[in-house]
A = this chain, B = another copy of it.
């Protein structure tokens, strides 16, 4: 199968590595940076790279679009004419926003667009940090739209499985954005706020344990990408922040009232829910 990856950053590069490990050979890459292309070829992430996708797109069966969400509409507008009928495009965006309505009308007849979201990443950016391992057992969300054929959905899902993803689920684009606001963007907002609320005069490094380290790892954040993700999903994210603050207020109220029973109740609830999550971790989708 002829596959093209557009954007060889940490996610595009990891997809290339994972596909190669799964035995796919005809994998090509498009990136604006010639050094990135050179590296990708040298590392065997792609067979051949190009700064301009035109020629590659004409032979492509599947195209992974690993560029920032806001860059997608312009990219589609500029390149739609180069895809042949039967080609499937798929994205990796952390939010879908209005793209499921806005992008399909820009595509030529016979070209499909499967919205996808590999839920694995790293706090580093760039091809140097690409790794196929981060995908192992991770979740992959597919957000079908009416245009999609079952065959094309299965194609993207099959590749996700070959790359090592664990649970591959279908969800509507609207639900996708609602839930990633809670499971992905809210944790990033929390980590950023936690780090920034510390006293900068204090030698925090000497005063922390694993819990602080784990909760703040993602406070090292790609500001350009994440401000896009936050703003494109702002209403869902604001709602998630409000729900989170209500829960935090319940803990604060229990502290104010020295209410041991209320605290224990909140802890029992979170323990039960978090244990259920661990139990579900290794289940495979049907």
Spell out A's residues near B (CB within 8 Å): 119-121, 134, 138-139, 141, 167, 169, 171, 179-180, 182-184, 186-200, 202-221, 223-224, 226-227, 230-231, 234, 237-238, 240-241, 243-248, 250-252, 255-256, 258, 260, 263-264, 266-271, 273-278, 280-281, 283, 285
Contacts and interface: CB of A to CB of B under 8 A. Distances in A.
Given A119-B207, A241-B252, 19 more contacts: A121-B209, A134-B210, A139-B209, A187-B212, A188-B211, A189-B248, A193-B247, A196-B269, A198-B273, A215-B215, A216-B277, A219-B270, A219-B274, A221-B270, A223-B263, A224-B264, A231-B258, A231-B260, A238-B255
Contact of A180 (B198, B207, B245): B207
Nearest to A118: B209
Is chain A's interface secondary structure helix, strand, loop, or mixed overall? helix
This chain's copy number in the assembly:
2
A183 B196 contact: no
A221 to B, nearest CB: 5
B183 A207 contact: yes
Contacts of A258: 231, 234
Nearest to A279: B205
B237 A197 contact: no
A233 to B, nearest CB: 9
B138 A209 contact: yes
B196 A247 contact: yes
Given A212-B187, A245-B248, A197 B267 contact: no
21 contacts: A139-B207, A139-B209, A167-B205, A183-B198, A183-B208, A183-B209, A183-B211, A184-B209, A187-B214, A190-B190, A191-B211, A193-B248, A194-B247, A196-B273, A197-B247, A205-B276, A213-B277, A214-B217, A219-B274, A220-B270, A245-B245
A116 B276 CA distance: 35
